[in-house]
């Protein structure tokens, strides 16, 4: 069984080097074949990857991109590259900073013994960020469920069979939101409990602005549901407050309208032609460690 681990990175090569060592210790004495593909999202820092103590990893490739496209699009391009150029049975996309704990790779592999046909998602049961971030994240999950009907408790840390990868690289939403796209193309998924780890080095790079964009990108994948539910909300709410309409009671209507406009605007990030052309952004490919 060939498993590819996909790691997008931007200016965080010290973390990636540590992650490789941790992955190496996890796949020790495993009968699966593990390889790592790192997507360098046009980093401005010097690219230095220490691959010593990686004897259990069959190969490590570094794909350098010409232009910075962002985390989600690195994942999309990585899935497309692996599907078109590598032999594999499963892909495990994961963050390169330690927040996706490498020890949970064992859980993915263990689950494959019972059901190897469905994608496996790491469902967050515990996070390591501060209380403010957790509060906003919970609000994001609530709004997503209310307006889309989708309960999405996972990120990109998943284990994807080849058929799922094929579906994702043929879905335009993958170019904008990994988890939203996966929720759209695969209704039947397996789950493992996943604890959000702490970054190896430095503070989290997920700012409030990026969290909002991330949330809207997921919601935008289901924009038809958002529009239908928003219309229903408007009709029911206006009926309930018809005799008490004021600036104050209009605030929820304005908020929902702003959400719909934002979702429609960010949905334009979904682009099948850009996804199809994503490999043209590859500058070069380095064999950090060959077979």
pLDDT of residue 247: 85
Q: What is the average pLDDT score of the chain? A: 91
Is pLDDT larger for residue 60 or for residue 132?
A: 60
Whole-model pTM above 0.85? Answer: yes
- pLDDT of res. 127: 56
For the ranges 25-34, 176-185, 281-290, which has the lowest average pLDDT?
25-34
Tell me the mean pLDDT in the region 154-167.
96
Q: Identify which has the larger pLDDT, 115 or 288.
A: 288
pLDDT tens-digit series, residues 176-189? 999 999 999 999 99
> If you average pLDDT over residues 192-203, what whole number do you get?
86
**Mean pLDDT value across residues 125-143:** 72
Taking residues 200-211, report their average pLDDT. Answer: 73
- Please give the pLDDT value at position 150: 86
- Reported as a pLDDT band with limits 50, 70 and 90, residue 126 is low
**Res 129 pLDDT > 70:** no
The DSSP bridge partners found for residue 34 are 3
Average the pLDDT over 270-291 and give the result. 94
pLDDT tens figures, 214-266: 889 999 999 999 999 999 999 999 988 888 888 888 899 999 999 999 999 99
Mean pLDDT of 195-214: 78
Distance CA 46, CA 279 (A): 22
pLDDT at 16 over 70: yes
pLDDT > 70: what percent of the chain?
95
Highest mean pLDDT among 45-49, 60-64, 69-73, 122-126: 60-64
Residue 149 predicted with pLDDT over 70: yes
pLDDT of residue 88: 97
Confidence class of residue 130 from pLDDT cuts 50, 70 and 90? low
88: left (phi over 0), alpha (psi -120 to 50) or beta: beta
| More confident: 139 or 237 | 237
Q: How far is CA 83 from CA 6, 236, 260, 268, 290, in A?
A: 12, 47, 35, 25, 19
| Model confidence at 279: pLDDT above 90 | yes
Is the pLDDT score of 207 beyond 70?
Answer: no
Q: What is the pLDDT of residue 87?
A: 96
């Amino acid at each position: 069984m060939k498993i590819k681990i996909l790691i997008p990175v931007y200016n965080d090569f010290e973390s990636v080097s540590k992650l490789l060592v941790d992955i190496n210790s996890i796949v020790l004495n495993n009968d699966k074949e593990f390889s790592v593909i790192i997507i360098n999202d046009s980093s401005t820092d010097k690219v230095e990857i220490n691959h010593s103590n990686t004897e259990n990893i069959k190969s490590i490739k570094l794909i350098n991109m010409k232009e910075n496209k962002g985390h989600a699009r690195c994942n999309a391009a990585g899935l497309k590259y692996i599907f078109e150029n590598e032999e594999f049975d499963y892909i495990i996309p994961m963050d390169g900073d330690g927040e996706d704990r490498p020890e949970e790779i064992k859980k993915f592999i263990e689950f494959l013994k019972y059901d190897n046909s469905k994608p496996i998602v790491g469902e967050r049961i515990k996070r390591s960020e501060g209380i403010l971030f957790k509060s906003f994240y919970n609000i994001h999950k609530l709004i997503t469920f209310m307006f889309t009907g989708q309960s999405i408790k996972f990120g990109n840390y998943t284990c994807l069979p080849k058929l799922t990868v094929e579906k994702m690289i043929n879905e335009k939403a993958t170019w904008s939101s990994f988890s939203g796209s996966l929720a759209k193309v695969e209704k039947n998924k397996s789950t493992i409990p996943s604890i959000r780890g702490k970054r190896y080095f430095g503070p989290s790079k997920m700012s409030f602005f990026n969290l909002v964009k991330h949330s809207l990108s997921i919601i935008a994948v289901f924009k038809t549901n958002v529009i239908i539910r928003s219309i229903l909300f408007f009709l029911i709410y206006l009926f309930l407050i018809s005799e008490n309409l004021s600036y104050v009671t209009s605030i929820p209507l304005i908020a929902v309208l702003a959400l719909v406009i934002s979702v429609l605007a960010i949905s334009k990030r979904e682009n099948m032609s850009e996804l199809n052309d994503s490999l043209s952004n590859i500058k070069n490919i380095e064999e950090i460690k060959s077979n």
